[in-house]
Structure 1
Amino acid sequence: MTANDMSLYTGQPSGPVGKQIAGYRVEQVLGRGGMAVVYRAKDLRLDRTVALKLIAPERARDDTFRRRFTHESRVAAAIDHPHIVPIFEAGETDGVLYIAMRYVSGLDLRALLDRDGPLPVATALRIAAQVASALDAAHEHDLVHRDVKPGNILVAAGTDSDHPEHVYLTDFGLTKKSLSLSGFTTAGEFVGTLDYMAPEQISGRPVDGRCDLYSLACVVYETLAGCPPFERDEDVALLWAHQYDQPPPLTDRRPGLAPAAADVMAKALAKVPEDRYDSCLEFVAALRVATGQHAPAPSSKDPRPRRISANLWPPPEPPAWARPVFRGPPGGP
């Protein structure tokens, strides 16, 4: 890796702005983590703004990680869902692994909570429902996110007063096929964030979608209470708490909620996956009922494309310039 490539990853002042990688011109650092850095960048081929994620050089040199990166990027890109950040491209150039995704203008939930503190119940549940929908869609593809946390939930402006936020779940780079996987990588490192990590991840047991449900419940708890369910001074104590301690009832930290809300949260945070809800949307629906919140009425602006009636016959003719690529059925004209 060249010095310039390294400055792209590290974001040093010598810096990334204006440099190009794989057809993208870097414009601004958006965020940085243990194994990646994300930039706002310009796609020079299509003249659009994207979020460009570059993987740490030491990861790129790991053949196992490279294979996993390629596979998981393809699977994540195949999920077409309104609350999952679309992946435009994933690849490698000059020894640098990268993913180009839709750029979402707005705050992540971590920044929103840091700025505003606990959210109104209705806002917290609107955000939760959209994340739950994204997670259930991933689980239908036999994928587990395994790092659901406020920093991976992007909150953009919504379409109208009934839908004031549009939420995206991002960072599917840690997803894997759900069977036979634990919370550890092959190098023995944790996959996930300790404040939101399910007991089965910590103990190294196989995980499925109920692992994400637990993490989502931790996030929702924080949006309502202002802090995660478990707070400890040491990482080891936090790991122990997720596995063995009972969280403080939600109603103790958010007075005014009905006792039923604490019961719903306790079930979603059950230590044993089988004791939790069967899906993320089921959890959010139960919490809506318990808090007296109702799902917003459908918007008058239907975002779905209108379908052409199947009874229209004969079908419209293609334009003259397109006719050479159309062919009739075998044996036909």
Structure 2
Amino acid sequence: MAPESDLYTGRPSDLVGRRIAGYRIEREIGRGGMAVVYRARDLRLERTVALKLLAPELARNDTFRQRFTHESRVAAAIDHPHIVPVFEAGETDGVLYIAMRYVAGRDLRALLDQEGPLPVATAARIAAQVASALDAAHEHDLVHRDVKPGNVLVAPGTDSDHPEHVYLTDFGLTKKSLSLTGFTTVGQFVGTLDYVAPEQISGRPVDGRCDVYSLACVVYETMAGTPPFQRDDDMALLWAHQYDPPPALTERRPDIAAGVDAVMAKALAKIPDDRYDSCLAFVAALRAAASGAGPGGHPPTQVDLRVIGAPEPPTPPPGPPEWARPVFPGAG
């Protein structure tokens, strides 16, 4: 018979109806290489939650367990309207788990698969909410490191001015933690390659500007329909992130203002120092460029000289009357 912990990452039906750490599993809602997410019922507070169960081998690494506990507490302490709240994180029967708010709706991956490239206004609204969440995390010294459409949840908004409410999820399980477990051994890279920053690939230190790069990749995809870099194999894709210039967004969306290309190029710069200092700064520049505004965020100002009292240019003197103008033979 398989060990008890093997059930946690087995077939979806294996856990339905089972009780784990005070939660009753209802159905699987997501699966990745290192975790499975279930919709579950909190039996103590009678509420629906999203319960993430990490792969059993992660719990066997003491360093990972300590960092997981620390980062889960940091994530739970962030009170932000666009970050999925973490209710509880712990360990049961040798398996690490995180209980989070259950968000009804779909993730950005599903939205793009169903609807294709989004209108610029919609893409900008979603990007602004994700950027706000990321900058809030950065203020707590927490770098996400895995910003991708699958980690952006899109729920119904409150009114026509706010048609969607976006949540960023998967805090408390950062790639820095996973790199301590052996998941980043040769031939295996933890993360989503379409959105990974160059400094993550090369193993250099990362900060919030790593998330700026990944967010820019996501924003590019929301408007172009594909990530900025597409290659036939993983190694070529990793090379492209590190060395190839991103294709101009306007090549794929000619309807977008040309100034957006410069904004995207800066956000996707290979060197962190060349990028925007924050995610919100990137989105602000994106919105200004998309609206045709100048570098300062304002459209060009039209000045009426009569209003400000400046002298108007003199009216040129009238020319000679029609009958006095010379006639050149052959001119017509």
TM-score calculated relative to the size of structure 2: 0.83
Change (3 A) 1:80 1:215: same
Alignment of 1:58-207 (within 5 A): 58-175=57-174, 184-185=179-180, 187=182, 189=184, 190-207=189-206
- 1:299 is matched with none
Letter of the 2:8 counterpart: L
- 1:50 is matched with 49
Name the CA distance, whole Å, in 1 between partners of 2:81 and 2:124. Answer: 17
Which structure is larger by alpha-carbon Rg, 1 or 2? Answer: 2
Structure 2: gaps of 5 or more residues: 294-332
Contact 2:36 2:53 in 1 (8 A): yes
Letter of the 2:10 counterpart: T
CA-CA distance at 1:187 after TM superposition: 2.3
SS in 1 for 2:232: coil
Name the CA distance, whole Å, in 2 between partners of 1:124 and 1:185. Answer: 35
- 2:17 is matched with 18
2:273 is the counterpart of 1:274: yes
Cα deviation per residue 1:159-178 (whole Å; 9 max; x = unaligned)? 111001000000013338xx
Contact 1:185 1:191 in 2 (8 A): no
Alignment of 1:278-297 (within 5 A): 278-292=277-291
Contact 1:195 1:238 in 2 (8 A): yes
Letter of the 2:218 counterpart: V
Change (3 A) 1:188 1:204: farther
Change (3 A) 1:70 1:293: farther
- 2:329 is matched with none
Letter of the 1:247 counterpart: P
Change (3 A) 1:12 1:289: closer
Name the CA distance, whole Å, in 1 between partners of 2:71 and 2:179. Answer: 16
Contact 1:182 1:207 in 2 (8 A): no
Identity %: 77
Contact 1:182 1:201 in 2 (8 A): no
Instruction: State the number of aligned residues.
Output: 289
- 2:241 is matched with 242
- 2:6 is matched with 6
SS in 2 for 1:164: strand
Contact 1:88 1:102 in 2 (8 A): yes
Name the CA distance, whole Å, in 2 between partners of 1:229 and 1:274. Answer: 20
Name the CA distance, whole Å, in 2 between partners of 1:237 and 1:182. Answer: 26
Name the CA distance, whole Å, in 2 between partners of 1:293 and 1:91. Answer: 49
Question: Which consecutive segments of 4 or more residues in structure 1 shift more than 3 A?
Answer: 1-5, 181-186
- 1:232 is matched with 231
Name the CA distance, whole Å, in 2 between partners of 1:185 and 1:115. Answer: 37
Letter of the 1:226 counterpart: G
Letter of the 1:54 counterpart: L
CA-CA distance at 1:68 after TM superposition: 1.5
Name the CA distance, whole Å, in 2 between partners of 1:184 and 1:77. Answer: 22
Q: Which moved more, 1:67-76 or 1:23-32?
A: 67-76
CA-CA distance at 1:60 after TM superposition: 1.3
- 1:324 is matched with none
Letter of the 1:187 counterpart: G
- 2:330 is matched with none
Name the CA distance, whole Å, in 2 between partners of 1:97 and 1:275. Answer: 38
Letter of the 1:39 counterpart: Y
CA-CA distance at 1:293 after TM superposition: 8.3
Contact 1:183 1:205 in 2 (8 A): no
Name the CA distance, whole Å, in 2 between partners of 1:217 and 1:261. Answer: 12
Name the CA distance, whole Å, in 2 between partners of 1:196 and 1:212. Answer: 9
CA-CA distance at 1:95 after TM superposition: 1.1
TM-score calculated relative to the size of structure 1: 0.83
Q: CA RMSD in A?
A: 1.9
Name the CA distance, whole Å, in 2 between partners of 1:248 and 1:183. Answer: 31
Letter of the 2:182 counterpart: A
